[in-house]
A and B are shown apart, each in its own frame.
Chain A
C-alpha cells in the first residue's frame, strides 16, 4: 500500500489567494483527519470525517477554512483567502473503523507558506 498520499508537498502562495490541499487515505480506511502543525501551537486537529461525513470540525480556525470528502478515497482542505498566519505543515491521517484504539496513519504533510 502506498500509504496516505498528500499533494502538493510544498505550496507557496501570496496572501489572499485560495489554497487547496489534497489527501488520498489508505484504501479501506473509513476515518480521515486533517491536522495542522506549527512551532507555536504544535499539532492541532482541524477536522475529522467518518465514512465521508464530517464528525468534528471544532478545530477549524475560522470560516476561511473548509474541508470536503466527496468520496472514500479523496479529501480536500481549502483556505480562502489565505493569510500569513496560515503558514504551517498540514497533515492528513486515516484509520480503520477500529475506533479510538486504532492507530492513525499519517501522510508526509504539505508545507504551506503564505507570504
Chain B
C-alpha cells in the first residue's frame, strides 16, 4: 500500500527567504511522486513530478524537489519565497506497478508568505 505524510500542516516564511515543505512517502514498489499546488478557490496545478529519472526534479516557478530513496522523502524547496507562492501544497504518490489505483494525496501544507 502507498501513503504520503506531509510533516507540516502550516509553514510560514518571509518573502525572499527559502521554502522547505517536507514530504515522506511509503510505497511498495517504484513510486512516481508529484507536488501539486492549489491557490485559494482554484483547482490543483502540477508543480513537478519524479518518475525515476534524475533524482533532483525542477518544476515551475522556481520550485524543485529531491527524491531520496534511503530517506523515503520528496521535500519541496524554493530558494526565495514570493508572495504569490502563498497556497496549499500537496505531495502525491502513485505506485507505478499498481497503476489501477489513482493518486494518493498527502493532507496538504498551507504556505504563508509574510511581507
Contacts and interface: CB of A to CB of B under 8 A. Distances in A.
B49 A100 contact: no
Nearest to B33: A101
Interface stretch (B14-22, B65-73, B76-84, B98-106): B98-106
A43 interface: yes
Contact of B96 (A55, A99, A103): A99
A88 interface: no
A101 B94 contact: yes
Contacts of A106: 36, 43-45
Interface string A86-101: 0000010100000111
A113 to B, nearest CB: 14
Interface string A75-115: 00000000000000001010000011101111111000000
Nearest to B36: A106
Interface residues of A, number: 20
A43 B105 contact: yes
A56 interface: yes
Nearest to A91: B43
Contacts of A48: 102
B56 interface: no
B49 A55 contact: no
A42 interface: yes
Interface in A14-51: 33, 42-43, 45, 48
Highest count of chain A CB atoms <10 Å: which of B52, B95, B105: B105
Nearest to B52: A101
- Chain B CB count within 10 A is highest, among A55, A101, A106, for A101
Interface of A: 4, 33, 42-43, 45, 48, 55-56, 91, 93, 99-101, 103-109
17 contacts: A33-B103, A48-B102, A91-B43, A93-B44, A99-B96, A100-B32, A100-B96, A100-B97, A100-B101, A101-B32, A101-B49, A103-B46, A104-B102, A105-B46, A106-B43, A108-B43, A109-B42
